[in-house]
Amino acid sequence: MTPPKDFNDRMLSLGLARVSEAAAHASARLIGRGDEKAADQAAVNAMRDQLNMLDIKGVVVIGEGERDEAPMLYIGEEVGTGNGPEVDIALDPLEGTTLTAKDMPNALTVIAMAPRGTLLHAPDVYMQKIAIGPGYARNVIELDAPPADNVRRLAKAKGVDPTAINVLVLDRPRHADIINSVRSTGAAVQLITDGDVAGVIHCAKPDETGVDMYIGTGGAPEGVLAAVALRCIGGQMQCRLILDTEEKRERAHKMGVTDPKMIYGIEDMAKGDCLFAATGVTTGSLLTGVKFKKDVIETETVVMRSVTGTVRYIKAEHRQLEKFHLD
């Protein structure tokens, strides 16, 4: 029996960048066309094709849905050539389908990879989340504390008045109480229409993004992807799956969730060494979007490694356009 191959993340990082780039190229052709499903499907097809070129024995643990819901990149699908290390794959082929369809900022293609069995297998349900950037003592924030208390605690830790804190929240009716609680401290609320993964990552670089904290309820798959990014670059995050029906609890139990009320930290969602890559589709505060020029396609991708904390920004010019099958 051949022993399992080591997770050589140093060699895999560029391969992962190629995967997110291909998905970005494909979906960017549909920017502003008003067709969310077509943009998402284009990203899925491209990402799957590129994944199957990587020398990995990959299993999708965070994907487009459960097997009966998604024809491609479903949870449990095996990807890669089968010749390399055994890995978990978490992906969101197009984070911001609506943003892409409407030509709005911050649409990304996102993928993460880690050794087999180290990423949280999260069902496609909602998740409560709170996140801040690096440089603070543990447990400065608490998921179950009122948002106003978390703002005051973060302001104290940062050495500023609460009015200097900026909190990012998804613009949804369900977040009205969170927004009111944050604003009661004098802190600012920045509302976003979509982009859960990008929203959490914004916290990691408050000096650049102006975002100190992320609070709210969003998708559990996006929560795991964001946790991988924060594991690479630093920060704190606490999450809880919202399993409010028996059917959801059963689905979660089948995926290995034994405590439906557990609060997950970053290390609970991404236990081992991990890689994260994202490519801009539409230009936003994190990444520049895809640019189609006469004989060149330009992309910007960020690649992160947890083992070293290295963050690389790759500005690429692609000239062999036929490889993207864009006709």
Q: What is the pLDDT of residue 122?
A: 84
Question: What type of residue is 298?
Answer: E
Residue-averaged pLDDT of the chain: 91
Residue 308, burial from CB neighbour count under 10 angstroms (0-12, 13-18, 19+): exposed
Axis-axis angle for helices 36-51, 9-28 (nearest 10): 150
pLDDT confidence of 59, banded at 50, 70, 90? Answer: very high
Q: Please state, for a pLDDT cut of 90, what percent of the chain lies above it.
A: 74
Q: What is the pLDDT of residue 327?
A: 43
Is residue 170 within 8 A of residue 218, CB to CB? The reply is: yes
* φ and ψ of 300, to 5 deg: -130, 130
d(CA 166, CA 296): 38
Domains of the chain, start order? 9-116+274-324 (3.30.540.10), 126-269 (3.40.190.90)
Q: Is the pTM of this model over 0.95?
A: no
Measure Cα distances from 208 to 165, 205, 286 in Å. Answer: 14, 6, 9
Alpha helices in the chain (DSSP H): 9-28, 36-51, 97-101, 147-158, 176-183, 196-202, 206-209, 220-233, 246-254, 266-269
d(CA 175, CA 276): 28
User: Is the confidence at residue 325, as pLDDT, over 60?
Assistant: no
Is residue 147 within 8 A of residue 168, CB to CB? The reply is: no
pLDDT confidence of 195, banded at 50, 70, 90? Answer: confident
Which helix (H) or strand (E) element contains residue 313? strand 311-318
Q: What is the pLDDT of residue 186?
A: 98
- Tokens standing for residue 5: 């191959």
Is residue 94 within 8 A of residue 116, CB to CB? The reply is: no
- Tokens standing for residue 114: 């880690």
Instruction: Convert the pLDDT of each residue in 61-90 to its tens digit.
Output: 998 876 666 678 988 999 999 999 999 999
* φ and ψ of 270, to 5 deg: -140, 90
* φ and ψ of 168, to 5 deg: -95, 130
d(CA 145, CA 26): 42
Contacts of 36 (CB under 8 A, 6+ apart): 97, 98, 100, 101
Q: What is the pLDDT of residue 64?
A: 81
Instruction: Convert the pLDDT of each residue in 234-283 to its tens digit.
Output: 999 999 999 999 999 988 888 888 898 999 999 999 998 999 999 999 99
Q: What is the pLDDT of residue 256?
A: 86
62-66, 146-150, 195-199, 218-222, range with the lowest pLDDT: 62-66
Instruction: Convert the pLDDT of each residue in 4-49 to its tens digit.
Output: 566 666 779 999 999 999 999 999 999 999 999 999 999 999 999 9
pLDDT confidence of 1, banded at 50, 70, 90? Answer: very low
73-77, 115-119, 272-276, 319-323, range with the lowest pLDDT: 319-323
DSSP assignment, residue 82? Answer: S
